[in-house]
Structure 1
């Protein structure tokens, strides 16, 4: 894999340390409104999720929209995947699963929708990793990419209390204008890039934090939620995500 900020050992440790991975993916899963609109408007019938293990969006699209779905990742943990599928009343027969290096793999099929949620920010060459998505995308197909926004309050939390995780992300990629320009230069159409979601923060290592940090986290989370409920804004400072969509 090229120019990555993580490796297979990192992802093996990441997923093996996570608790409550297997859950029933809800109909209102994150980004459900955006995906529902794209599927309806563009009449999408097939999709592949890149870097998406354990496949929550692969499952979501299969379960609620009946799309023919595939999951592609550099690291697949078979036991975890089986558990996640089972709790969602699915099996490996219901989806395609591909384990491989995105920079070496030659796609055997193309899809109406190519999506990744939390992938491109783990690479130094943002334009290159976006371009890798396009080989899986049919002409006229839809590209849907999301990434965390670590340039506001949530990023400050990561940098202050989980620097190791923060350093696994390419912060310069978290720029909607830059992302849009990359897509335009790659020949994509109908390009949109924007901050998404009202206030939210998280820490991957929250359970290991001392009591005072946990208390501060709760206070900040509560304050931010109340503020954006009163004034529902999406911005660089407060929004937890960035969304990028385009058409090939």
Structure 2
């Protein structure tokens, strides 16, 4: 592939992850994984490779399916991630502290996944195909991103989280485009779409009048949206994803 066109400097990730605690994820994304993948497969002794695996929030769930886990991330502290996964009684093979785009060991895996990775690149289509290049024949590709492109999510991030919005390629948050690209490259789409109850997170601070506006939103509007907005909405759901099998 050509040089990755990254929207985020690595220093941002290192700083963001500096004091993070390892934990087992439990949210709309993990619900989606169990509903559409884990509960339907016998994955014992299969291999999985997560692109951008730190801090292991989702990789640990694959390990709990008795899979052999592998992953790669440029972020420092990968040694501690390896240690934590072992403490969770996960079968760990390789946790690599390196650049995914320099990976060239010719090993292929039964499952390749990423959760919030491809949307940080302008040339996201090439990034997707790089994922597929390390996948076994008949293997499964699983990818998700935030749904900042959805109208409701976009407006709120534009108002209260604009610097973070700029770190994401909104054009990459489109599971229909991923599906078309994958089908053109010999994949069968198992599942695609938007998922999760409405939720919202902000990675940026606001200033001026937006401080009060954000406080009012979080106090009065946010709880009502969580209560009344339907799940799996392209407008408001926090995530979108695809599960595809390589033919």
TM-score (norm 1): 0.84
Number of the residue aligned with 1:76: 76
Q: Deviations over 1:201-220 (max 9, x none)?
A: 11013699835423312423
1:131–1:82 CA distance, 2 compared to 1 (3 A): closer
* CA 1:211–1:95: 2 relative to 1, 3 Å: farther
Q: Give the Cα separation in 1 of the matches to 2:171 and 2:121.
A: 10
The Cα of 1:94 is off from its aligned counterpart by 3.5
Q: Secondary structure at the match of 1:65?
A: coil
> How far apart in 2 are the matches of 1:107 and 1:38?
27
| Ranges in structure 1 where 5+ consecutive residues have no aligned partner | none
1:206–1:214 contact (8 Å) kept in structure 2? no
Aligned to 1:221: 222
1:107-122 maps to which residues of 2 (within 5 A)? 107-122=105-120
- 1:71-150 matched pairs, under 5 angstroms: 71-78=71-78, 81=81, 85=84, 89-90=87-88, 94-150=92-148
Question: How far is 1:113 from its partner?
Answer: 1.1
SS at match of 1:56: coil
Whole-Å separation in 1 of the counterparts to 2:206 and 2:56: 24
**Alpha carbons of structure 1 residues 155 and 100: separation in structure 2 relative to 1, 3 Å:** same
The alignment's TM-score, normalised by the length of structure 2, stands at 0.84
Taking the TM superposition and a 5 Å limit, the aligned residue runs for 1:27-38 are 28-36=26-34, 37-38=36-37
Say which of 7, 10, 15 aligns to 2:9.
7
Structure-2 separation of matches of 1:23 and 1:187: 36
Secondary structure of 2:113's match? strand
Partner in structure 2 of residue 157 of structure 1: 156
What stretches of structure 1 move > 6 A for 4+ residues in a row? none
Instruction: State the 1:93 CA deviation.
Output: 7.7
* Alpha-carbon contact 1:158-1:166 (below 8 Å) kept: yes
Instruction: Give deviations 1:118-141, integer Å, cap 9, x for gaps.
Output: 001001112101001112211101
Q: CA RMSD in A?
A: 2.7
Contact 1:111 1:137 in 2 (8 A): yes
Name structure 2 gaps, 5 residues minimum: none
| Per-residue deviation, 1:240 | 0.9
Number of the residue aligned with 1:199:
198
Query: Which stretch shifts more, 150-159 or 134-143?
Result: 150-159
Match of 2:238 among 224, 237, 240: 240
Contact 2:66 2:91 in 1 (8 A): no
C-alpha separation in 2, matches of 1:174 and 1:203: 17
TM-superposition CA deviations, 1:102-126 (whole Å, max 9, x none)? 2221144221111100001001112
CA distance in structure 2 between the aligned counterparts of 1:72 and 1:219, rounded to whole angstroms: 41
Aligned to 1:210: 211
Q: Deviations over 1:143-189 (max 9, x none)?
A: 11000011222222222222111001000112222121111122211
3-state SS of 1:70 partner: strand
1:31, CA displacement in angstroms?
A: 2.8
